[in-house]
Amino acid sequence: MKIMVAVKRVVDYAVKIRVKPDKSGVETQNVKMSMNPFCEIALEEALKIKESGLAKEVVAVSMGPSNCVDTLRTGLAMGADRAIHVEASRDLVPLTVAKLLKKLVEIENPGLLILGKQAIDDDCNQTGQMIAGLLGWPQGTFASKVVFDKEKQVATVDREVDGGLETLCLDLPAVITTDLRLNQPRYATLPNIMKAKSKPIKKFTLEELNVEIKSDIEVVQVIEPPKRKAGVILSSVDELIDKLKNEAHVI
Amino acid sequence: MACRFILQNLSKRHLLHSTFASRSASTLILAEHEGGSIKAQSLSAVAAASSINGDNPVSLLLAGSGSSLQQAAEKAATCHPSVSQVLVADSDKFAHPLAEPWAKLIQLVQLKGGYSHVIATSGSFGKNILPRAAALLDVSPVTDVVEINGPHQFIRPIYAGNALCTVRYTGANPCMLSVRSTSFPVPPISGDLKSGGASISEVDLSTLDEDSIGKSRFIKLSSEETDRPDLGSARVVVTGGRALKSAENFKMIEKLAEKLGAAVGATRAAVDAGFVPNELQVGQTGKIVAPELYMAFGVSGAIQHLAGMKDSKVIVAVNKDADAPIFQVADYGLVGDLFEVIPELLEKLPEKK
């Protein structure tokens, strides 16, 4: 079985972001960029499945400008066998990403598609569900545990939902989106980083994949949220109870 | 056994709306139900619908099977004055809220009803199902909306809520949204509904596209039994972080929550460490809460946690580290040992009325 993993290059999770003064977006120039943490978890899961003998190949995919290649190299260094870069000079909405992924799925024929549940920049949490819908594949989103049965060709997925932990059984091929507790992604070791330099990255242009580029969402502006009023440090529990009761009136 | 019935209770208001539906906005709400009642979060989606276009007819879509579904439908018919129609999809396929049959159902209902807007609440149900349905309908949805500025303009948080993005939807109908229930509170409904409620009708499932249905099966849902109020809608939340050090110690948080009539929340670190189950996690990828009072014990205040609670009315933080980032959002802070502060609070807090 081949596993395809979609990964996204985003502002590093620890960076304190700044909104551009012209309100057109968030500042990403000269800011540390990394593979989206949920995508790292997705890739790690694919690698674990391969290492357990249930898959033969892991292919990492990313879409965007040329610096996507950095993220793909990280993926290859973690252990992906091959990578695909879909070149796009502008931001793509999740639906377009899903349609591009569908084309790649038709070319590559993976038995499993794993994505991070959301990107920490736009926090959309849409792409995995969309590609599953377009392919007519079952989906196991917000996965915290995945167990494969090679014989029965099914995946049993534990999902983190509002009410607790839901367990579903999915026929393969399927789409899984990863939640935080699924695994701990490995660090790329130096020998693997060196090896990654010679692993192939295939490039596709949007024209070659011949997909309709959706542009039905327009960003009007990006602003900082209103700041909270500064608070006070109190000196005793008595004072806290007094403030909560007589000042804030919440108890 | 599924109890099938068709109850046509056409009110005058419903007839008027049918006539004007093609000219004005019309909204389909994807609602959840449990134990014969509509889930409270679904009502936030109805509140959001009325802020898009006050007069627009609102249809509530319910799916499931059996008598609890029919009970929920009857309750739905009088749950909110804006709701003029309740659509019921009754089939074993919907015994559990699986995305595959639900997305096909939404596609079917949308193609028949031609709604201008489709709205779900941004909980695990809406997040799982809405984007799949949007892909089938070939539209980009706008998810996790916190403010509505017009029929096609919305504000949503990005970068863990550190920025707010205003977007305009410029595509074809339907405009599909998921909304944060904490941003669309439901005002208490006073008095009886004059027209006797919405009409209830069965969705004709004979043409439901079977492809992809049946490829996923529900096995079980594991949840903890608790007397505590629902985290997403509680008036007071008491949260513990990794500093609690053990599941046993976390019981102090629960005791305090009980004294305050509060829900219990947790940070990612506390859940990762196994102190509490995942459904208590508050944060960017956990639950978003906005209670009147949020008390955080041993919580450092990482960006990802703040994303889930910074809209709380009053924030209290107790932490040994005076430099913990949580103190930057707290209204009242106490630099101290939670293992001393919590017992003192338990002793000195007034009994809840």
Q: What is the average per-residue pLDDT within B321-325?
A: 95
Res A241: pLDDT: 95
Distance (Å) from the alpha carbon of B74 to chain A's nearest alpha carbon: 24
- The answer to which of A39-48, B46-55, B89-98, B219-228 has the lowest mean pLDDT is B46-55
**Whole-angstrom Cα distance, residue B262 to residue B292?**
11
pLDDT at B19 over 50: no
**Residue B193 confidence class, pLDDT cut points 50, 70, 90:** low
Which chain A residues contact residue B345 at CB under 8 A? 237, 240-241
Contact flag B170-A216 (C-beta cutoff 8 Å): yes
CB A211, CB A96: distance < 8 Å: yes
Determine, for residues B212 and A224 on separate chains, whether the beta-carbon distance falls below 8 Å. no
Q: Distance from B146 to chain A by nearest Cα, in Å?
A: 12
- Searching chain A, which residue's CA lies closest to the CA of residue B135? A130
* CA A8, chain centre distance (Å): 6
| CA-based nearest residue in chain B for residue A25 | B165
Which one-letter amino acid corresponds to residue B265? G
Q: How many CB atoms lie within 10 A of CB B153?
A: 15
Q: Are B319 and B300 in contact (CB under 8 A)?
A: yes
For range B123-147, the mean pLDDT: 97
Q: Average pLDDT for residues A232-245, to the nearest whole number?
A: 95
- Residues of B with Cβ-Cβ distance to A164 under 8 angstroms: 221-224, 277-279
On chain A, the residues whose CB falls within 8 A of the CB of B142 are 217
Q: What distance in Å separates the CA atoms of residue B115 and residue B87, rounded to the nearest whole number?
A: 13
CA distance A72 to A58: 12
Q: What pLDDT is stored for residue A218 in this prediction? A: 96
Residue A164 has its nearest CB partner, among B100, B215, B223, at B223
Q: How far is A98 from chain B (nearest CA, A)?
A: 8
Set of chain B residues whose Cβ sits within 8 Å of the Cβ of A145: none
pLDDT of B15 over the 50 cut:
no
Minimal Cβ distance to A144: which of B158, B278, B330? B278
Answer yes or no: is pLDDT of B348 > 80: yes
| B222 neighbourhood in chain A, CB within 8 Å | 164-167
**pLDDT at position A54 over 60:** yes
Residue B115 pLDDT > 70, yes or no? yes
> pLDDT tens digit string along A102-143?
999 999 999 999 999 999 999 999 999 999 999 999 999 999
Interface contact flag, A231 B143, Cβ < 8 Å: no
Judged against a pLDDT cut of 50, whether residue B5 lies above it is answered with no
Q: In this structure, what are the phi and psi dihedrals at residue B296, rounded to the nearest 5 degrees?
A: -115, 120
Residues of B in contact with A123 (CB under 8 A): 144, 157-160, 284
Q: What is the pTM of this model?
A: 0.92
Instruction: Tell me the one-letter amino acid at B223.
Output: S
Distance CA A116, CA A128 (A): 8
Task: Please name the residue that has the structure tokens 């039994």.
Answer: B225
B21 pLDDT exceeds 70? no
Q: Which residues of B touch A117 (CB under 8 A)?
A: 285
Instruction: Grade residue B17 by pLDDT with cuts at 50, 70 and 90.
Output: very low
> How does residue B4 score in pLDDT terms, banded at 50, 70 and 90?
very low
- Are B266 and B249 in contact by the 8 Å Cβ rule? The answer is no
Phi, psi of A128, rounded to the nearest 5 degrees: -60, -45
With contact defined as beta carbons under 8 Å apart, do B158 and A121 qualify?
Answer: yes
Residue B296 reports pLDDT greater than 90? yes
pLDDT tens digits for range B151-184: 999 999 999 999 999 999 999 999 999 999 999 9
Predicted pLDDT at B181:
94
Q: Do A216 and B169 touch (CB under 8 A)?
A: yes
Please give the ipTM for the structure prediction: 0.96
Q: What is the pLDDT of residue B25?
A: 81
Q: CB neighbours of A185 closer than 8 A, spacing ≥ 6? A: A37, A40, A41, A43, A44, A78
Query: What is the pLDDT, as a whole number, of residue A75?
Result: 97
Q: What is the pLDDT of residue B197?
A: 84
Residue among A42, A136, A38 nearest B99 (CA): A136
pLDDT bin (cut points 50, 70, 90) of residue B10 is very low
Residue B22 has pLDDT above 50, yes or no: no
Average pLDDT across chain B, whole number? 90
Using the Cα atoms of residue B227, residue B231, residue B237 and residue B242 in order, give the sign of their dihedral: positive
CB pair distance less than 8 Å for A225 and B164 = yes
Residue given tokens 């609690």 in the structure block = B244
Whole-number pLDDT of residue B347? 95
β partners of residue B265:
B239
